A and B are shown apart, each in its own frame.
Chain A
């Protein structure tokens, strides 16, 4: 593997990777938690993608979702019961992410601006919003008592912490359950409801969908804001997990990894669960690799991006193989004509 390049003995590196993935209950637990975050982002991605929208803005939506969740989670009085606090925090996170995506959705629907460009730019703005929030005392920064006070928020009230699953030695929270539920709902909507078929029609041909009386603008707007809500919840999950504070590194690339999961899943929620799990283990293994063997964690990202490039680059063969074998003339309709601003 690439680890050898970094000067670490391959055997030792492999051992560290394996350890970080499944070596301890702790490792498994944190891998599953990571997978949950990725799955949430990916489920949203799949929803928007069905409507022909590519949500590249997971990162920004996570940031804003996390900020919104923290704002609610630190403002709640400590006496609020968990049954109320947790939903409130996650709802705020969803609203934050959805609101952030709604900017891009509105621009796409009303002004015809490519959502790829806008969600991408909103990532930068969202990350800056997060930095702003944790650096300004007027916003979410914990009270500055000394020069050592870290730029991070005060901890969320205890009632808003995500409960652990209760496996001894494992940090696994209910987040995986939440993410599975979200993926299930998305799968149900996409495959078993009229809305799912309508979204597909809008994604494949806007003119035809419009002609057939579908609310094209409404469907596209809802799909992208829905994706934002899912990513926002992912942000909420991140702050509601230990150490229950918001800092400016809270989403180190989860938005991008979630996008990877969504792309690799190719429209299938079941595949998304599998890919998210695999990637979750890989990511937490990568972190251990860095800690134990001194191999930079960016290797995981190298692997991720090479994976996408490989899959996207070979897509034409996949399409060719999937083509029905019956008498079929070349279809003059081109695959991607409307993706640009």
Chain B
């Protein structure tokens, strides 16, 4: 029983890391007033690019760089659409996801060969701490990349908190872009950068999934994790800790798919696949009325003069 719990937690945390990383990027984007639905596609692009980079150069680190760069490019495209061209954020986000799915599927046929060994990251056990019962393997036996990404998430959380001028500007832009503009904040620049942050972090989340967990690229390998990240931001009420908790819960729910059958528990696989999404639905249904998104979410900013 204890073993089961240990396995479940370890797998859960491992699967929660990509969702958490992507969600913390999405949180920055949404706080600036841009809803980036294309996290899913950015993750997939990041995963694909990291595998291509790692296999061609034989270096996992180059893979990480490629994943981040691909995320940045995807973020650039989305920022261009959402911030500069003021296109519908939901429509373009979903279309970008479809593009990423089809593009990476197509690309995988061209660039990746089945059965190639993908350089990746192995688990690193932190001495002593990883021996703790139950929680030890979950928290202290992750990959090096996971630790680095978690540090990035924490750092980002601090940089965008209301203790810093950036954090104040971010909140102001998302809540009331016109006022922020009149206070001298470069609204579009802040939003543009925020979407780039979403891109980079989503790319890294995909990289983590591909190089540290799955160790290869498969078609549609994110399978909705990016949408879970978007929902985690809503379910976490736009607060970093809440978002982290939501990401962890979704990760655990996903982990059940792998741990329960391994343990011989006879539950239809499809039920386990649907579980995280059902949880996500329940979360948005139950929580949304008690929290409030940034007022300016999805509203593009145009500086227009209202005439007398």
Contacts and interface: CB of A to CB of B under 8 A. Distances in A.
B110 A5 contact: yes
Interface stretch (A70-78, A193-201, A272-280, A298-306): A298-306
A315 B87 CA distance: 7
A316 B271 CA distance: 43
Interface string A125-153: 10011011001100000000000000000
Contact of B297 (A112, A263, A340): A340
B299 A124 contact: no
Contacts of A259: 94
Contacts of B102: 298-302, 304-305
B45 interface: no
Interface string B250-287: 00000000000000000011110110011011001100
Interface string B22-45: 000000000000010100000000
Interface stretch (A11-19, A87-95, A221-229, A327-335): A327-335
Contacts of B148: none
Given A117-B284, A313-B92, A131 B270 contact: yes
A312 B91 contact: yes
A4 B120 CA distance: 32
A339 interface: yes
Interface string B277-304: 1101100110011000100011110001
A103 B278 CA distance: 12
22 contacts: A107-B284, A111-B285, A112-B289, A117-B284, A118-B281, A118-B284, A128-B274, A128-B277, A131-B269, A298-B106, A300-B102, A302-B99, A305-B96, A305-B98, A308-B95, A313-B80, A313-B87, A316-B87, A330-B307, A334-B299, A339-B90, A341-B293
Interface of A: 2, 5-7, 54, 56, 103, 107, 111-114, 116-118, 120-122, 124-125, 128-129, 131-132, 135-136, 256, 259-260, 263, 296, 298-302, 304-306, 308-309, 312-316, 329-330, 332, 334-337, 339-341
Interface of B: 35, 37, 77, 80-81, 85-88, 90-92, 94-96, 98-99, 101-103, 105-106, 109-110, 224, 227, 230-231, 234, 268-271, 273-274, 277-278, 280-281, 284-285, 288-289, 293, 297-300, 304-307
Given A124-B277, A298-B101, A314-B85, 6 more contacts: A124-B274, A125-B281, A296-B106, A308-B92, A336-B299, A340-B293
For the complex of A and B, list the 6 residue pairs with the smallest distance between their C-beta atoms, beginning with the closest: A301-B102, A128-B274, A132-B270, A305-B99, A308-B95, A298-B102
